[in-house]
Structure 1
């Protein structure tokens, strides 16, 4: 067995591990799609602009799962993911919605677009600051705090989906788009408990039906993408109060469990 030479001490490895290359490449690809959406918006190709943001959202949902599958989680990947999310789901949708509608609102239109980008950045900064915190009541119960960045980008573009479906010019009016943009920005930085995948508890009897539903939604996204995205976005917003109620129930159950006397406690 060889012994290490004293004149060549072991040095820490630098660079990205090979197993982390694939998830980081997917993250970088999501960033590219997000920025490409801005390019299409500048050219007035709204369908391609929105589709680029949706593809970025799909890729963002894959990179973390690929990293866990390959055991390629890293601090570098987490930082890259946050930077990619700010650009792809904060800056890009803000510019798209500004070029599509808000630029017709003198002086104030840019402020609403800016609010979305800033709130997305603040949300991700809060997430990074709390990532090592032990006190995360929403996460420990399987819920998210506020609307995540990809979902916020999707909700931000809801007026565009509806316009692509109906062709109604009124949907591009800034007096409709601006309040909606402000509402979505608020949801991202709020402390509202929203559903995550781990918070959805499906009974065994409905799991097969849920798989059929997911397959049908996937097919609808291919055959009628804008109709489907409109319906999914509306249903997501309508589900937020139910998420708040579910989390309140979990809090009550935890409070009752803490106040209940321990079976090992001596009787008074």
Structure 2
């Protein structure tokens, strides 16, 4: 009679032994850009908390920090050759929170809640426009484009939109006596900046600016960066307000430069011999 449970022989070659699971090691260069993105996301979420607590100076500082980290993570990924689809998706989700939700919540807590439902609708429009702008950017990067298109964005980018939409708050902290921090103006201004983000307005990107720095300009560049950082820390409201105003004033020049490039490309295509 056969036994139901035959004895186990560890030396039996017929016994299938479980294979040890090999742990796949990931280089640190693949993780570093995502860590920078997550630090930016933490800054954006902290900005929301500080806005609720009424600490607008610290909240804006967190959004500025998130913008700096957002400018760094992509360049670090390209420098380390660690770009990935996961990193791109994570960056878009972080940008939506940092530059869509956080500024909208800050404006609503600061002044838009005085308009009740209309103020909340304005905040929603800005946040939704930021999400749509990021989704459009993710789709557009896959299509073939001329080289000069890399110098431009379509619409105001999300980080710039977040810092520009807070201009009334900067001016209010500076106590500028022009009445720009009134509720109706802030409500309309918030919606307009949101629509600019999803518009087809070409804006200068600056992606290729500074990719190559002349040797003689390295030390002056260091000095300029230190001076700007010192001014931002010493006079944050002045620097942020001036930067937002200059950015808005530069939009027509970006539009004009875009059409100049487009006209040059059209003339080149007309003058090129047909095959």
| Same fold? TM cut 0.5 | yes
What residue is the counterpart of 1:4 in the other structure? none
Q: TM-score, normalised by structure 2?
A: 0.83
Query: Following the alignment from structure 1 to structure 2, what is the Cα–Cα distance between the partners of residues 176 and 210?
Result: 40
Quick check: 1:232 aligned with 2:238?
no
Q: What residue ranges of structure 1 are gaps of 5+ in the alignment?
A: 1-6
Query: Following the alignment from structure 1 to structure 2, what is the Cα–Cα distance between the partners of residues 224 and 14?
Result: 49
What residue is the counterpart of 2:172 in the other structure? 163
What residue is the counterpart of 1:81 in the other structure? 91
The 3 A distance-change label for structure 1 pair 177 and 259 is: same
The 3 A distance-change label for structure 1 pair 78 and 15 is: farther
Higher Cα radius of gyration = 2
Indicate the SS of the match to 1:126.
helix
Quick check: 1:101 aligned with 2:132?
no
Could you report, residue by residue, the CA deviation over 1:67-112 in whole angstroms, capped at 9, with x for unpaired residues?
1121111111000000000011101110110000100013211111
Instruction: After TM superposition, list the pairs within 5 Å mapping 1:1-268 onto structure 2.
Output: 18-134=28-144, 136=145, 140=149, 142-166=151-175, 170-198=179-207, 211=221, 213-262=224-273
Q: TM-score, normalised by structure 1?
A: 0.85
Q: Is the 8 A contact 1:90 1:149 kept in 2?
A: yes
Q: Which region of structure 1 is more displaced relative to structure 2, 192-201 or 68-77?
A: 192-201
Q: After TM superposition, give the deviation of residue 261 of structure 1 in Å.
A: 4.0
Paired residues, number: 255
Q: Is the 8 A contact 1:37 1:53 kept in 2?
A: yes
Indicate the SS of the match to 2:153.
strand
Q: What residue ranges of structure 2 are gaps of 5+ in the alignment?
A: 1-16
Q: Which region of structure 1 is more displaced relative to structure 2, 213-222 or 244-253?
A: 213-222
